[in-house]
Structure 1
Amino acid sequence: MDVAGLRAIDVHTHAEVSASGGASLGDDLHDASSAYFKVEGERKPTVAQMAAYYRERDMAAVVFTVDAESATGTPPVPNEEIAETAAAHSDVLIPFASLDPFRGKAAVRQARRLVEEYGVRGFKFHPSIQGFFPNDRLAYGLYEVIEETGTIALFHTGQTGIGAGLPGGGGIRLKYSNPLHVDDVAADFPHLKIILAHPSFPWQDEALAVATHKPGVHIDLSGWSPKYFPPQLVKYANSLLQDKVLFGSDFPVLTPDRWLADFAKLDIKDHVRPKILKENAVRLLGL
């Protein structure tokens, strides 16, 4: 990967469909998410199509699925497929994986194999969809592997567009994604590299506190247009957390084009802007 030639690194994109056509979310949850984000038309690119999309923009992207099969009954896009496709497009794609914590020791074994045999660089957790608190000991075997291998644990935090507007929110509970639950993980695994995904509404102050207090915790800015960022998030990104905040879009529901256009209008210091767009990710990912 020619890091110097990249405009930016998007640390948060979703592989929503496999090359064979299998989707990672059921139609009801996918449609609710599309309505929440006001996605126009059908937007389910394959991983290879995502590579072409980011290559055209001189950007790289972290790509992952969400394995919540125990909770939703829907199998994810295979982690191996994502990793293999990313390897074929290593100039622009960085593979993360996702494993259902309820799979126990089988998930732990797969995590190690995905790192050692497939070059996976991190793991995505979505507590609200997967239905677990991050500090539940059922996931600690996975965290041990992630910490040991020097890879990254990325946690969805805050409200989610998945299930929004459906009766009962599609059964998805927001309580699991309070970033304070991740604080326990950061304390119990002091060398684990962690990303708190998204402006963490309604727990933005909690996320800022955890990221300020725990050296290994970072924040990505995905899932929101920058024009809607809470003022305290902008303040901390410009100061105490300028080395720990990362550009993420949430593609395909939010495009990097829209995100970057709105970010250009945000009151971010000139020397901080390149850190958020690329430099912090280069350091965290070891590129």
Structure 2
Amino acid sequence: MVDFSKVRAIDFHTHAEEPCGCHADDGYDDLQTTMAKYFGAPWVHPPTVAETAAHYREMNIAAVIFPVDAERETGYRRYKNEEVAELAAENDDVLIPFASIDPAKGRLGAREARNLVENYGVQGFKFHPTMQGFYPNDRMAYPLYEAIAETGKPALFHTGQTGVGSGMPGGNGMRLKYSNPMYIDDVAVDFPDMPIILAHPSFPWQEEALAVAQHKPNVYIDLSGWSPKYFPKILVQYANTILKKKMLFGSDWPMIAPEKWLGAFEKADFRDEVRPLILKENAMRLLGVS
């Protein structure tokens, strides 16, 4: 298990990549290659879960890691949640497993969520409305949300535009409208006891995200997907003041390395007393550890 007293930070947003790498026949490698160029990622092939664990171990950082179940919408092969959880268990000194379930699976997905928490140690769930092709407040997703809420685990939602599909024909078929954080406001109303994380600075809906996080006690924001040097001033302002206990460090590995994010964070205009909250303390509270 992660010794939270010893790690220097908790990265709340890292992606699991399959051991075999990208698949040429379903188009996933094209997406990954384009994203790597967009972000300036330093690898030739995306790192495996084991390689991810080794990197975070070297950095003395714990990492929330997850796949994205977007197979129905994109055709990209699903990385099985059970396999990711098992690999995380083999590296549980640094990795914290989250799962991803297509909300269109309804009660089937709800059953899977309960099983993953009970039998595989999954600590939360990742949604990517743009890649999964759904509005977060679509009632089809509610049976899955109900199951997650019963477990007490958090739900993390991609928001805004971070570069996924950027520059590809038709944006690689990804519709940005699904990731407006205001749709998640409905989810926060209907599931007030389910912790919710809005992933990324929610460009072009940054103020909407801040409004939802300020208004709803169960909503947090992770700061992944952007270098802190590009953060909007209003995001830094809120992180330094009324939302200082609701902001989480996240890199978006493997597109952004944690050390690169942290280097920019050190130079950004965050208050000294706020930095420990963002880097670790808020995440510990959200994960229910002391």
TM-score bracket for the superposition, by shorter chain length: over 0.9
1:92 aligns with 2:64: no
Distance in structure 1 (CA, Å) of the matches to 2:22 and 2:45: 14
C-alpha change, 1:85 and 1:41, in structure 2 (3 Å) is: closer
Of residues 174, 180, 187, the one that matches 1:185 is: 187
Tell me which amino acid in the other structure corresponds to 1:39: A
Number of paired residues? 286
1:49 aligns with 2:51: yes
Give the structure 1 partner of residue 238 of structure 2. 236
Any conservation in 1 of the 2:197–2:219 contact (CA below 8 Å)? yes
Give the structure 2 partner of residue 167 of structure 1. 169
Distance in structure 2 (CA, Å) of the matches to 1:3 and 1:203: 33
Give the structure 1 partner of residue 17 of structure 2. 16
Q: 1:41 Cα shift?
A: 3.8
Q: 1:78 Cα shift?
A: 1.3
Distance in structure 2 (CA, Å) of the matches to 1:216 and 1:240: 14
Q: 1:32 Cα shift?
A: 2.1
1:146-194 alpha-carbon deviations (Å, 9 max, x no partner): 1110101000000132211111101100000000000000001110100
Q: Percent identity, aligned pairs only? A: 63
Distance in structure 2 (CA, Å) of the matches to 1:28 and 1:115: 33
Distance in structure 2 (CA, Å) of the matches to 1:101 and 1:226: 31
C-alpha change, 1:40 and 1:20, in structure 2 (3 Å) is: closer
C-alpha change, 1:89 and 1:192, in structure 2 (3 Å) is: same
Any conservation in 2 of the 1:9–1:281 contact (CA below 8 Å)? yes
Give the structure 1 partner of residue 138 of structure 2. 136
Of residues 61, 67, 70, the one that matches 1:68 is: 70
Q: 1:20 Cα shift?
A: 4.3
Q: 1:231 Cα shift?
A: 0.2
Any conservation in 2 of the 1:197–1:219 contact (CA below 8 Å)? yes
Distance in structure 2 (CA, Å) of the matches to 1:69 and 1:134: 17
Secondary structure of the equivalent of 1:142?
Answer: helix
Secondary structure of the equivalent of 1:132?
Answer: coil
1:37-95 alpha-carbon deviations (Å, 9 max, x no partner): 12244141111111111111111000001000111112221111111111111110000
Distance in structure 1 (CA, Å) of the matches to 2:21 and 2:226: 28
Q: 1:108 Cα shift?
A: 1.3
Secondary structure of the equivalent of 2:87?
Answer: helix
Any conservation in 1 of the 2:160–2:201 contact (CA below 8 Å)? yes
Any conservation in 2 of the 1:61–1:92 contact (CA below 8 Å)? yes
Any conservation in 2 of the 1:43–1:252 contact (CA below 8 Å)? no
Any conservation in 1 of the 2:85–2:121 contact (CA below 8 Å)? yes
Any conservation in 1 of the 2:162–2:226 contact (CA below 8 Å)? no
Distance in structure 2 (CA, Å) of the matches to 1:203 and 1:15: 27
Distance in structure 2 (CA, Å) of the matches to 1:25 and 1:111: 28
Give the structure 2 partner of residue 215 of structure 1. 217
Secondary structure of the equivalent of 1:264?
Answer: helix
Secondary structure of the equivalent of 2:53?
Answer: helix
Q: How does 1:257-276 map to 2 (within 5 A)?
A: 257-276=259-278
Q: 1:35 Cα shift?
A: 2.1
Of residues 60, 77, 95, the one that matches 2:79 is: 77
Distance in structure 1 (CA, Å) of the matches to 2:226 and 2:190: 30
Q: 1:127 Cα shift?
A: 0.2
1:186-240 alpha-carbon deviations (Å, 9 max, x no partner): 0011101000000000000000000000000000000000000000000000000
- Which runs of no fewer than 5 residues in structure 2 stay unpaired? none
Tell me which amino acid in the other structure corresponds to 2:7: L
Give the TM-score normalised by structure 1: 0.97
Give the structure 2 partner of residue 59 of structure 1. 61
Distance in structure 1 (CA, Å) of the matches to 2:164 and 2:270: 30
Any conservation in 1 of the 2:21–2:46 contact (CA below 8 Å)? no
Q: Which shifted more, 38-47 or 215-224?
A: 38-47
C-alpha change, 1:232 and 1:115, in structure 2 (3 Å) is: same
1:194 aligns with 2:208: no
Any conservation in 1 of the 2:162–2:200 contact (CA below 8 Å)? no
Give the TM-score normalised by structure 2: 0.96
RMSD over aligned CA atoms reads: 1.3
